[in-house]
Structure 1
């Protein structure tokens, strides 16, 4: 049974595993995910062995805390639920806990109560997203015990994506879902993503996946359906197909619409 992701994440792939299960490989050795985010594909596939990574240290700390101390984290989320209001939200947003479980609980609390579940930091590296409309900190879908048991089978790393992809071998499976950095929509998140993930990073990712493809690694990656991105992967002989998704990140209802993305695959 697939687990429900415990985070809301911009560009999350719940829609992909719901509508396009047939695109994933049936068998593979180790699962690699270099842009973990909410981990929708990981929770859907439920792999026996996995290497999960992200450049976001707070994100990986949250996963590690659930793996190592899910009961303590759940207790802290209950306290956050009891105390939640506007004043408490901004108090917690300004906090900098040191204990890993407290850091993880703060991260999940802010994710669930901030505007649209967006993760964004300022130039000083401080989380700066305003409070949102959702008030539930404890969700009916929470199953931190099962998430912890699954994560015991995974290696969690804070690192650059290239390091993770380079570690994959024949018959492993890499799923790469990078930040989308071309102006294919109006969701207000593009400029921030461009700072996170430059065009040079897009090229470096394509090269990393190309090398993995040539090692016999099973590859699946998502990206914006943009000519410049398509050309990167067409030149490297990947299989490319377009699919539509519904985007709901925009604060403006008229800007929430169907957008095309591409699925890039090899050896599947």
Structure 2
């Protein structure tokens, strides 16, 4: 199977792990992702139907628009990727227009532009909901035309929703497969980066997600696979899982380039059938 990259740069994206994760996912009619992010697992699996959720409304609006108006959106987005727009003053002007706008189409165009022109491909909002990633200073930001086209084509099999993960779990039917890629448990107190949508995903939510996974596999007959850091604490909250697999992964996000070492990740599976 040819591997497909997401069109967005994304902290914690699963492109590099998609083969390992795919092997843990059983067959089924529908793959449900309560934390879809940039969609690498969606793009690198083959299910008849997908239910893709994220708490980030900008992300879901962008996906919905790309599904419904692919050619118009791709053409308009390409016009924003010009050398003239790859300047800090233009970036900050567009960012400020984005934060002032409530038009989903305009916000989707600028969201893609900021994702490729902003610092390190981060997606971050302040407490009042304003996008606040600084300018990235790239020589020539890449316009992901082929990736956008592939996503738009595959999105015809997907339903996109923006809600809490518990609501998405409630939609699962017997035989469905759920893959969860939540914000990870921090490895250290300074490494906590969970504000993708301005909402914290703390230890209470981590434990609740493990409970939800166990419930949906027992009561609704769905299989659930979750990714997280491999720590004493995550092993404790996932102690009722049916399978645990630890893998070493090279980290690509770090303040210091030399700090990019391998860390252990955990893949857990709840499968009560």
TM score, norm. by length of structure 1: 0.91
Distance of 1:185 and 1:13 partners within structure 2: 23
Q: Name the counterpart of 1:94.
A: 96
Query: 1:19-46: CA deviations, max 9, x gaps?
Result: 5543332x11211000010010000003
Distance 1:73 1:140, change over 3 A: closer
Aligned to 2:265, what secondary structure does the other structure show?
A: strand
User: Is the CA contact (8 Å cut-off) linking 2:125 and 2:195 kept in structure 1?
Assistant: no
Distance of 2:71 and 2:139 partners within structure 1: 21
Distance 1:171 1:185, change over 3 A: farther
Task: Name the Cα RMSD after superposition.
Answer: 2.2
Q: Does 1:222 align with 2:215?
A: no
Which ranges in structure 2 are unaligned for 5 or more consecutive residues? none
Q: Name the counterpart of 1:24.
A: 25
Distance 1:266 1:191, change over 3 A: closer
Distance of 1:127 and 1:177 partners within structure 2: 22
Aligned to 2:17, what secondary structure does the other structure show?
A: helix
Query: 1:228-261: CA deviations, max 9, x gaps?
Result: 1111111x24311211111111131121110111
* Cα offset, 1:144, TM superposition: 2.7
Which ranges in structure 1 are unaligned for 5 or more consecutive residues? none
Aligned to 1:196, what secondary structure does the other structure show?
A: coil
User: Is the CA contact (8 Å cut-off) linking 1:33 and 1:52 kept in structure 2?
Assistant: yes
User: How many equivalent pairs are there?
Assistant: 265
Runs of 4+ in 1 over 6 A off after TM superposition: none
* Cα offset, 1:100, TM superposition: 2.5
User: Is the CA contact (8 Å cut-off) linking 1:113 and 1:135 kept in structure 2?
Assistant: no
Q: Name the counterpart of 2:87.
A: 85
